[in-house]
Amino acid sequence: MKVLLAGHKGQLGRTLLPLLAAQHEVRGIDLPEYDIADRAALTRLIHDFTPNLIVNAAAMTDVDGCARDPAAAYRANGLGPQNIALAAAECGAEVLHISTNEVFDGVATHPYHEWQSRNPINAYGRSKLAGEWYTERLLTRFYIVRTAWLYAAGGRNFPHRMIQLADARGSLRVVTDEIGNPTYVVDLVTALRQLIETHAYGIYHLVNDGATSRYEFAQAIMTLSGRGHVPLAPITSAEFQRASTPPLYAPLANHAAAALGIRLRPWQEALADFLAQTGY
């Protein structure tokens, strides 16, 4: 199978590329050489390569940056997926589109199901909803995979930032009222590979099992990395000023993939493995 991987330089793409390349012919594209928001160039590339599957892991993921520049967010996260969907429809390719828990508003009292109504409350979530909208309306053979709180070796992510700040400052202030699913990229890419082998198109939630707060996540990072002595002060999201407003309660429930036998391990096990592998 021929696979076009958009966003191969990101923390998800870097891990996914070699996994797919072990079984398929894979071509990676990313900025600055390729911009999925450039319809003409992307269409030419897709028609020349003629992939069987297009994986869209390309996105503007700087949530606060999206709040400061919603037009840029929409260009990357909305128009880019539209261009991929249009070109995929022309050449008959399947599309695997990576989305986010931030398409939900965070006011639920239980983890969000795959089929629940979306109602994003920030620019990042709205731009990612646009990407989902184009994918599901322009294609019939697609997977939309929502995930959350991704981290991987070498990436700019929450565990890396917490350890960096703990070492620099000697203490941390972390919000207690933002709840989600920490997800290890290594586990996610394994699940993605399993999913594309099923050809069971639809919407999926792929996250490590279990939900937690940012504060509890930081506690686990400190403990497992040998920094349990670092003081952690609990604060509310209202006390942490930032450009974007995240959904406060937005854990995802894995029903659809679990029905296919695809499950990710508990987030605590994944985090321990990540920290051991990275030497933190």
Q: Which of the following is catalytic: 74, 112, 124, 184? A: 124
**Cα–Cα distances in Å, from 264 out to 16, 111, 166, 205, 224?**
16, 16, 29, 10, 20
Query: Is 124 a known active-site residue?
Result: yes
Other CB atoms within 10 Å distance of the CB of residue 245: 15
Whether the pLDDT of residue 155 is over 80: the answer is: no
- In this predicted model, what pLDDT tens digit does every residue of 65-86 receive, in sequence order? 999 999 999 999 999 999 999 9
Q: Give the integer Cα–Cα distance in Å for 223 and 245.
A: 28
* Cis, bond preceding 231 (omega within 30 deg of 0): no
Average pLDDT over residues 172-184: 97
- In this predicted model, what pLDDT tens digit does every residue of 125-139 receive, in sequence order? 999 999 999 999 999
Q: Under CATH, which architecture does the 2-156+182-209+250-265 domain have? A: 3-Layer(aba) Sandwich (3.40)
- In this predicted model, what pLDDT tens digit does every residue of 157-172 receive, in sequence order? 999 999 999 999 999 9
Nearest to 129 by CA among 108, 107, 105, 164: 105
Residue ranges per structural domain of the chain: 2-156+182-209+250-265
- In this predicted model, what pLDDT tens digit does every residue of 182-192 receive, in sequence order? 999 999 999 99
Letter for the amino acid at 3?
V
Tokens 């109504």 -> residue: 117
Whether the pLDDT of residue 54 is over 90: the answer is: yes
Across 186-212, b (16+ Cβ under 10 Å) vs e yields bbbbbbbbebbeeeebbbbbbbbbbbb
Question: How is residue 156 written in tokens?
Answer: 């700019």
pTM of this structure: 0.96
